[in-house]
Structure 1
Amino acid sequence: MFSNLSAGALGLSLDLPTAVDLAAKHGFGGVDPDLDHFRTLGGASAVAEFAASVRERGLEWGMTGLPVPLDAPAEEFRRALVDLPEALELLTAAGVTRVGTWLRPMHDDRDHCVNWRLHAGRLALVGELLADAGLRIGLEYIGPKTLWSTERFPFIHSLREARELISDSGADNVGLILDSYHWYTAGESTADLAGLTDADIVSVDINDARDDRERDEQQDLDRRLPFATGVIDVPGFMDSVRAAEYSGPVKVEPFMKELAERPVDEVLEQISGLLDRAIAGE
């Protein structure tokens, strides 16, 4: 596995060339690709050339967003499918292999069965299209009860449910985005991670939680940096990730606005150090 700079996950507004420079400077192993930036380069050949320069800096690609919104209204979903070939051409030219999205854990109108059928069917279709381009899809379940309980029909908000949906879709290029925060807020333990393999995991996020709230009081967008409070067993979580022989990106996604108020180099030096610590198992 490798430490990954995801500027957006840190609340930092960096264009991709700047993110690449900073990732190399601060010892990250990878950086998230940006489809919007690829579109400004003038075609697949230019994208491939840019990607080669990134690899020359010793960096791998992390994960970019899934270009198709699985939860969208039917017409928006259809439009995204029409635009998908252009996105796949650029991602393929760049050598990107991982895209991801989160599963909205509730809905006011769709009950669980209807929502499940919609997601399984769309995931099967999109999974097939992306498999032809050599892309894997990561799905992130959202654990906080303060979010999934806010609408009429709760939906997927646990590891077990996410794995069942992936199995039901029949898509073999779909796996998990594992986030220690959602793992904790879903009430899960290392036992729930036992048996996972590299093929099951597309990306990993590590975060900690506030120490002045109980588990069911935690807010999705109010987290802490890994190892900050010890509320979340980040070392145990990462032991399980290592046991899975996971080989992909690991990033931090704390939703802490104050990070953007500090000098960028100072923030990235701290984040790189935290990721190195987590990956090494120190």
Structure 2
Amino acid sequence: MHRRDFIKTTALTGLAAATTSHTDLMAAHHKSKRKFTLAFYGGSLGIQANQKQAIKLASRFGFESVEAQSGYLANLSQGEADELIGWMKQKNIDWGSSRLPIDFRKDRAKFEADLSELPKRAAGLKRARVSLVNTWIRPYSDDLTYNQNFKQHTRRLWEVARILQDHDLRLGFEYVGTTTLLIRAKYPFLHTLAETQELVTAIGTSNVGYVIDSWHWWQAGDSAEAIHKIDPATITLVDLNDAPKGVEKQQQMDTVRELPMATGVIDLKPFLEALVKIGYTGPVRAEPFNQPLRDLDDDAAAKVTINALKKAVALVGG
């Protein structure tokens, strides 16, 4: 990856608003009420790291959980998985969630090909004692009306959920609320928490739920009160992001975001307070789609991100 010192310096200056002092972070930690973990997901930060590299980076910079890579874990024996878990415990790192390795958004042939590999991936996750899986719902279609798309999602994700359920895995769906994406194609689709709840109900298995992203929560006009009504056990991942200044809310671009607390455009306090109130215990990651962050070397990107996450959770006691 192309790295340049002057880019690093510029980026760190631009990201400095998302950091806070070590003393402040430690003071906040002692009065923390949260049960969720601060999670390292390298791909969200522009960091290419295999499973063991990700665990090392997470431990080095003070993250508390790490993304589970199903492709790697599927090839481990039970003994190897147990050894990995023991090593993670020594480093005080828990599992976050694992990305669903299936493209259910395209044609049936692609979906079935991916689905045929899912039992192996799911078995690997279970051996490693991973319990959470995440995916996202595309909020538009060129070909399917809302009702047609809803029915297709219900059928396909029911098939996925049944396999995951057989391996004690929960699946969360991230709704994408970005306004500019809703006009990208002919037919808009599910893009709010309420609509996601309708999909969860339609699928009907006991292991499906939600991924909640502060960006999409804000874009969709959802509220903290809506989060209060969610069973925390149904949330498999939370994304924490901020938005650029100087851009109207309905003109914001989905792939141009900021680290949490970088600008204050998104009011994260009620969002985080809601997670604390319901007792959410899963992973919270940053997913900023931020080019200056991606231009940093891996250590610098990890450090800036954990500082941003800790500054955010200081709003609710650290």
Q: Same fold (TM over 0.5)?
A: yes
Match of 2:124 among 90, 103, 110: 90
Match of 2:62 among 23, 27, 32: 27
Aligned to 2:294: 260
Separation in structure 2 between the aligned mates of residue 4 and residue 247 of structure 1, nearest angstrom: 12
TM, length-normalised to structure 2: 0.84
Separation in structure 2 between the aligned mates of residue 63 and residue 169 of structure 1, nearest angstrom: 21
Aligned to 1:7: 42
Aligned to 1:235: 269
1:44–1:89 Cα contact (<8 Å) kept: no
Asked which structure has the greater CA Rg, the reply is 2
State whether structure 2 residue 115 is matched by structure 1 residue 81.
yes
State whether structure 2 residue 229 is matched by structure 1 residue 192.
no
* Per-residue Cα deviation, 1:138-191 (whole angstroms, up to 9, x for no partner): 100001111121101100011110111101110211111100000111122223
1:3 aligned counterpart, secondary structure: strand
1:231 aligned counterpart, secondary structure: coil
Give 1:44 shift.
Answer: 4.4
Give 1:17 shift.
Answer: 1.3
State whether structure 2 residue 123 is matched by structure 1 residue 72.
no
Match of 1:145 among 165, 179, 186: 179
Tell me whether 42-51 or 213-222 shows the greater mean CA deviation. Answer: 42-51
2:224–2:271 Cα contact (<8 Å) kept: yes
Match of 1:26, as an amino acid?
A: F
Distance 1:2 1:42, change over 3 A: closer
Identity of aligned residues (%): 33
Separation in structure 2 between the aligned mates of residue 66 and residue 77 of structure 1, nearest angstrom: 12
Tell me whether 237-246 or 47-56 shows the greater mean CA deviation. Answer: 47-56
Give 1:236 shift.
Answer: 1.2
Aligned to 2:196: 162
* Per-residue Cα deviation, 1:86-121 (whole angstroms, up to 9, x for no partner): 111211111111111110100011111111011112
Separation in structure 2 between the aligned mates of residue 132 and residue 103 of structure 1, nearest angstrom: 23
Give runs of aligned pairs for residues 207-246 of structure 1, distance below 5 A.
Answer: 207-246=241-280
State whether structure 2 residue 207 is matched by structure 1 residue 173.
yes
Separation in structure 2 between the aligned mates of residue 244 and residue 69 of structure 1, nearest angstrom: 31
2:247 aligned counterpart, secondary structure: coil
Give 1:66 shift.
Answer: 0.9
State whether structure 2 residue 239 is matched by structure 1 residue 205.
yes
Aligned to 1:46: 80
Match of 1:184, as an amino acid?
A: W
Match of 2:138 among 97, 104, 109: 104
Match of 2:162 among 114, 117, 128: 128
Match of 2:53, as an amino acid?
A: T
2:237–2:282 Cα contact (<8 Å) kept: yes
1:2–1:279 Cα contact (<8 Å) kept: no
State whether structure 2 residue 71 is matched by structure 1 residue 36.
yes
Separation in structure 1 between the aligned mates of residue 273 and residue 250 of structure 2, nearest angstrom: 25
Aligned to 2:308: 274
1:144–1:185 Cα contact (<8 Å) kept: yes
Match of 2:146, as an amino acid?
A: H
1:106–1:150 Cα contact (<8 Å) kept: yes
2:280 aligned counterpart, secondary structure: coil
Higher relative contact order (CA 8 A, sep 6+): 2
1:13 aligned counterpart, secondary structure: coil
Give 1:27 shift.
Answer: 1.1
Structure 2: stretches of 5+ with no match in the other structure:
1-35
CA RMSD of aligned residues (A): 1.6
Separation in structure 1 between the aligned mates of residue 248 and residue 284 of structure 2, nearest angstrom: 26
Tell me whether 153-162 or 272-281 shows the greater mean CA deviation. Answer: 272-281
Tell me whether 73-82 or 3-12 shows the greater mean CA deviation. Answer: 73-82
1:123–1:171 Cα contact (<8 Å) kept: no
Q: How many residues align?
A: 281
Give 1:42 shift.
Answer: 5.2
* Per-residue Cα deviation, 1:13-43 (whole angstroms, up to 9, x for no partner): 122211111111111110111123335x554
* Per-residue Cα deviation, 1:44-92 (whole angstroms, up to 9, x for no partner): 4323422332233211111111123222311111122221221112111
Separation in structure 2 between the aligned mates of residue 51 and residue 110 of structure 1, nearest angstrom: 43
